[in-house]
Chain A
Amino acid sequence: MSALLKGEHAFGVMCRPGRQLPEFSVKTGANPNQTADFLGAEIHTLSLPDCFSQRTLRTASFSSQVALVTLLEAWSDADLDAVDPYRIGLVVGGSNIQQRELIKTHETYHNRLHFVRPTYGISFMDSDVCGLCTELFNIRGFAYTIGGASASGQLSILQAIQAVQSGQVDICIAMGALMDLSYWECQGFRSLGAMGSDRYAQEPAKACRPFDHDRDGFIYGEACGVVIVESASLPRRKDVTPYARITGWAVGMDGNRNPNPSLEGEVRVIQKALDQAKLSAEEIDYINPHGTGSLIGDEIELQAIDLCDLTHAYLNATKSITGHGLSSAGTVEVIATLLQMQARRLHPTRNLDNPIEPSCNWVKHQSIAHAIENALNLSFGFGGVNTALCLGLAQK
């Protein structure tokens, strides 16, 4: 939490194998428009605890390894060992999350296919994350993946809520999985105009700047988030304190396959979530927006906030610190909201030097003291996915 409040970041030129264009594509001029390396925030060191055997980890993808480490932290925090494993479910948000592993396999075995390792037949599927998590944590309720582009993480939470509400399980784990991009996806996002940053190629720390006039696209960030959803009626476990109440939520589609945002779609889910939470706009005192640094997306989102009469609420952009985790973003940002609720402080928005809408109630370069009562989290995804989630202060 202290890192979040200080706005500590890890942006730089990405160096994980398979993240930068290979020599041949540069030499052959396959990508004449490429002017800069791909920037992002990568996990520097992943500490794998001894409770996960090397035998398991040897064939687990990077996304799976990060998933296991993240789940372990949330599992311990929520003391899920004390819960009947048959009453625990898992929803993993994200699809096509292991693209870099796929490229590595293709490059290693492209001219000797018959040597491809048998485990690739399991590990290439996103559901391998479910398999590993359920095996190592003995989850016996259900587990599946759910995809909704950059809204996948928040969608996983909405799905978890429904699983708990319906009584399918008592506790549901919502995971926004790490989307492990290869240079192919980075290039695709660049070509699409979604990923920055040519402008700050020489100054990676300045590249990620949601809602700032000088933004030129999102900057990727490796991340995974896990949120535990359970019914308020479930008996409290000793030493486990809820972070917040989920008071309202909504999901809605634009009927549009493309990446462009929809003001109408965003307004609709915000209002629906507020209605469900039985909250008026003025009762929302903090918004954690989708805010990627997208040229159009950021503007449309602020218009939606304005149309919903929410400009009084404090606003910061978690992605300015973490980067855009794509499939993980929705859960990571809900976690950021929960931590800010707990700390009674709001984290800064990095690089917000010149906001595109100065009249919003921005938390700019410094963290500020604020006790959140009612928060609104927003996530949007390519293909016209809009989600909104209202979180209220947990009852004492």
Chain B
Amino acid sequence: MTKDRIFEIIIGHTREVIPELQGYRFQPDDALKDLGANSIDRSEIVAMTIESLALNIPLTETARAKNIDELAGLLYEKSQSC
């Protein structure tokens, strides 16, 4: 799976958790927090993405990602090493 595809998966789950973002055009440097996701929302989005990618990693390993692009990159790395 490519990093771009992971980016799309994150966006899909973000829209599922925050339906208000249905029409929003996501940018790589968007931070989930700035888009209105609270801490539970962010955990949900990451957990859903990890499930979609069938990764077996703790949520805490994604904490250092500052924006969606970094999160996608981090998950891409994990997917390559699993």
> What 1/0 mask marks residues of chain A from 77 to 112 whose CB sits below 8 Å from any chain B CB?
000000000000000000000000000000000001
The distance in angstroms between the C-alpha atoms of A146 and B8, with both chains bound, is 45
Within 8 A of A (CB), among B40-82: 40-41, 43-44, 47-48, 50-51, 56, 58-59
Query: Main SS of chain A's interface residues?
Result: loop
Is B35 on the interface with A (CB-CB < 8 A)? no
Report if A119 contacts B (CB, 8 A). Answer: yes
| 0 or 1 for each of B1-38: is its CB under 8 Å from A? (1 = yes) | 00000000000000011111000000000000000000
Contact B40 A55 (CB under 8 A): no
Question: Of the candidates A53, A115, A122, which one forms a contact with B50 in the assembled complex, judged by CB atoms under 8 Å apart?
Answer: A115
- Contact yes or no, B19 A114, CB < 8 A: no
> Does A118 contact B18, Cβ atoms closer than 8 Å?
no
User: Which of A349-390 touch B at CB < 8 Å?
Assistant: none
Q: Is A202 an interface residue (CB 8 A)?
A: no
- Are A118 and B19 in contact, with the CB atoms below 8 A? no
| A290 to B40 CA separation, bound complex (whole angstroms) | 41
Contact of B17 among A55, A112, A114, A122 (CB under 8 A): A55
Q: What is the interface of chain B mostly: helix, strand, loop, or mixed? A: helix
A118 and B40 form a contact (CB under 8 A): yes
Residues on A with C-beta less than 8 A from B44 are: 59, 117-119
Residues in B neighbouring A55, C-beta threshold 8 A: 17-20, 41
> Which residues of B sit under 8 angstroms from A116, Cβ to Cβ?
47
A116 vs B43: C-alpha distance when bound (angstroms): 11
On whether the beta carbons of B59 and A118 are closer than 8 Å, the reply is yes
Smallest CB gap from B36: residue in A: A55
Q: How far is the CA of A58 from the CA of B40 in the complex (A)?
A: 13
Give A110-146 interface residues, CB cut-off 8 Å to B: 112, 114-119, 122
Contact indicator A115/B47 (Cβ below 8 Å): yes
Query: Are B47's CB and A53's CB within 8 A?
Result: no
B residues lining the A interface (CB < 8 Å): 16-20, 40-41, 43-44, 47-48, 50-51, 56, 58-59
26 contacts between A and B (CB under 8 A): A53-B19, A53-B20, A54-B19, A55-B17, A55-B18, A55-B20, A55-B41, A58-B16, A58-B19, A59-B44, A114-B56, A114-B58, A115-B50, A115-B51, A116-B47, A117-B44, A117-B47, A117-B48, A118-B40, A118-B44, A118-B47, A118-B59, A119-B40, A119-B43, A119-B44, A122-B40
